Amino acid sequence: MANGLKSALPKNALHLCVDMQRLFAEDTAWRTPWMNRVLPRVLEICASHPDRNWFTRFIPAVSPDEAEGVWRDYWIKWRNMTLKQTGAGMVELIDALQPFAARGRVFDKRVYSPWLTPELEAAIRSHEIDTLIISGAETDVCVLATVLGGVDRGLRLIVVTDALCSSSDESHDALIDLYRRRYSAQIETVDTAALLTNWL
User: Tell me, what's the pLDDT at 1?
Assistant: 56
Residue 46: pLDDT over 70: yes
Residue ranges of domains in the chain? 14-60+92-198
| Mean pLDDT confidence for 139-148 | 98
DSSP labels for 115-177? GGSHHHHHHHHHTT--EEEEEEE-TTTHHHHHHHHHHHTT-EEEEEEEEEE-S-HHHHHHHHH
Task: Determine the Cα–Cα distance for residues 194 and 92; give it in Å rounded to an integer.
Answer: 29
Phi and psi at 159, nearest 5°, equal -95, 120
Task: Considering only the C-alpha atoms of the chain, give the largest distance between any 2 of them, rounded to a whole number of Å.
Answer: 51
Average pLDDT across the chain, whole number: 96
Phi and psi at 21, nearest 5°, equal -120, 165
User: Tell me, what's the pLDDT at 112?
Assistant: 98
**CATH architecture for segment(s) 14-60+92-198:** 3-Layer(aba) Sandwich (3.40)
| Mean pLDDT confidence for 69-96 | 97
Task: Determine the Cα–Cα distance for residues 1 and 169; give it in Å rounded to an integer.
Answer: 28
Q: Considering the chain, what percentage of its residues have pLDDT values greater than 90?
A: 96
